[in-house]
Chain A
């Protein structure tokens, strides 16, 4: 009980609450501006959290990401441009509703079900994380190796259009993680005598480059003209009671599916929203209404993307395996704050875990008033000229990358990854697996080498412990089932032609 009391004490301090409030406003504004993603919001926030205590740092990131994912719905509804990729699944639907004069219903549904989805995901996080941590205490290097590999595998096969290009991104990330002295033998690798590189490639600088600087490059070459948003005049709270009652099934389904997809390593809020929208349409009694300004699919998928955020924290806190690119960044920050994720944190520093839970609940509750204010102020936010905003963002990126080690080397790393991220996205190579590779690389290598030494080089040892075997089989299934299915399908397609 005392840990919970301590946690309340840690969170309910004026400085922490003000930090959370500021992070919330920042997340809302960044999420609402098209071209600036939730991940970018976190990337810009990390250099600032660097200088905070663990609890406000985590609080700022949790709140900022929740707000940004919700706020992405606003420009989607008013401009038909999703503010973050997580809103893309139902942007057309929401915009059609606005054109039909039902914009306030769409935005009201976005706000209401984002809050409910977020709270549902939080409850699952609170209930499941400690239980899983008990199990995880029994884990050895074999289990952790498979978990890390399963996480990376999911990132490649679930989150990407082309698994080969996802793999390329992943291997680039893993390669980057090998640079420096941080390896089982402690020898410098790929440093070529550069003393700055012996410490490894700083992941914060890399991430600012991949997620923020690459967006600046993309903006520079884009020819999009800033559109004027549609106006929303009506009462946002109209029809809330009716929607909760009428669409309770959709909500529950969206919440559950969102949390599960979020908890799957490598798949985050955007995939949760796409899958939920598709499921909603397939199971709907009136699928013909979808795409014509019908709120049903929005309810389900907007619940899912916010539920996914909390779901992603389950593997992140319990195993140190990120559920999506946002938690990948968070895990890096947790290590910096000596809040190393993993089952032992539940024993050694339970007050931090409870503090995270409390912050999650708080963040979702303050979303109601702040989200309402953001919708009301949307026209102003969307009028901020992006040609002024983007140069300023670049300067914040530079200073953020500099602040990590107070050296210009961080800025150079940021620039290299900015160019790399830009080129990768231009060629449909996703960047999310790359950041997961950088974060999980050291864990994967350490557990692999330790396991190989323990087992005297026998691969069979990786399947000898029951949980390790289960995880191993699951990983191999994700690898081989799609290949087998594709082979089967091509055989079936070939048979009638032969006959």
Chain B
């Protein structure tokens, strides 16, 4: 999925303007000319400059706002991408209440089945990986993986 450079350029330009405007509101260090605002403003100028260059080069090679590559023409790929993003978000939102072990098994199982792994292999891999992580990160490295429902 190749977005035309001009579109990227306009997005960058808008982002740069917003950054610049926000950076101007940052308080100065009393008695100093150079404080917290200088660096973000310089970055905004740089990004804006890149944006302008990209707009110019993008317009020269304009073939539509987006050129869809092979994968992007199929619903399949988009669904798969959305599922992966959704799985990570599910983990973020539910792991603390439901617990690491059940959420991890569920996330892995859905992802593996989506990759067309046979269900019993998927179940075995999901449980084995979750247990491995629980033992190494949770046990050996003492990372407090959320217990959730399994907790006291």
Interface residues of A (CB under 8 A from B): 47-48, 50-51, 164-165, 167-168, 171-172, 174-175, 178, 183-187, 189-190, 213, 216-217, 220-223, 385, 387-388, 390-392, 394-396, 398-399, 402-403, 406, 408, 411-412, 414-415, 418-419, 426-428, 444-445, 448-449, 452-453, 457
Contact = CB atoms under 8 A, between A and B. Distances in A.
Nearest to B143: A403
Interface in B9-60: 12, 19, 22-23, 26-29, 32-36, 38-40, 43, 46-47, 50, 53-54, 57
26 contacts: A167-B46, A171-B43, A175-B19, A184-B34, A184-B36, A185-B26, A185-B27, A185-B28, A187-B27, A189-B26, A217-B84, A220-B81, A221-B77, A221-B81, A387-B117, A391-B112, A391-B129, A394-B111, A399-B100, A408-B92, A411-B91, A428-B2, A448-B39, A449-B35, A452-B34, A452-B38
A175 B84 contact: no
Contacts of B53: 164
B34 A453 contact: yes
Contact of A395 (B33, B69, B108, B143): B108
Interface of B: 1-3, 8, 12, 19, 22-23, 26-29, 32-36, 38-40, 43, 46-47, 50, 53-54, 57, 69-71, 77, 80-81, 84-85, 87-89, 91-92, 95-96, 100, 104, 107-108, 111-112, 115-117, 121-122, 125-126, 129-130, 133, 136-137, 141-145
B71 A222 contact: yes
Contacts of B122: 388
B88 A398 contact: yes
Contacts of B12: 168
A399 B143 contact: yes
B84 A216 contact: yes
Nearest to A175: B43
A171 B29 contact: no
**Main SS at interface, chain B:** helix
Given A394-B84, A394-B88, A449 B38 contact: yes
A150 B100 CA distance: 44
Contacts of B8: 168, 427
Contact of A185 (B1, B29, B88): B29
The 10 closest A-B pairs by CB, nearest first: A387-B115, A391-B111, A185-B36, A221-B77, A221-B71, A445-B39, A403-B143, A185-B35, A171-B47, A51-B141
A79 to B, nearest CB: 20
A223 B72 CA distance: 12
Nearest to B96: A408
A40 B4 CA distance: 29
B108 A391 contact: yes
B116 A387 contact: yes
B3 A427 contact: yes
Contacts of B34: 184, 449, 452-453, 457
Contacts of A418: 88
Contacts of B32: 453
Which residue, B26, B107, B144, has most C-beta atoms of chain A within 10 A?
A: B26
Nearest to A426: B1
Contacts of A175: 19, 40, 43, 47
A220 B84 contact: yes
Nearest to A223: B71
Contacts of B29: 184-185
A178 B85 contact: no
Given A223-B70, A398-B91, 18 more contacts: A47-B137, A164-B50, A167-B50, A171-B43, A171-B47, A175-B40, A183-B39, A184-B29, A185-B35, A187-B36, A189-B26, A387-B116, A388-B125, A402-B145, A403-B143, A406-B144, A418-B88, A419-B85
Contact of B129 (A50, A172, A395, A453): A395
Contact of A220 (B80, B92, B108): B80
A469 B136 CA distance: 51
Contact of A408 (B69, B81, B95): B95
A221 B133 contact: no
A220 B114 CA distance: 9
A395 B39 contact: no
Contact of A399 (B33, B35, B80, B133): B133
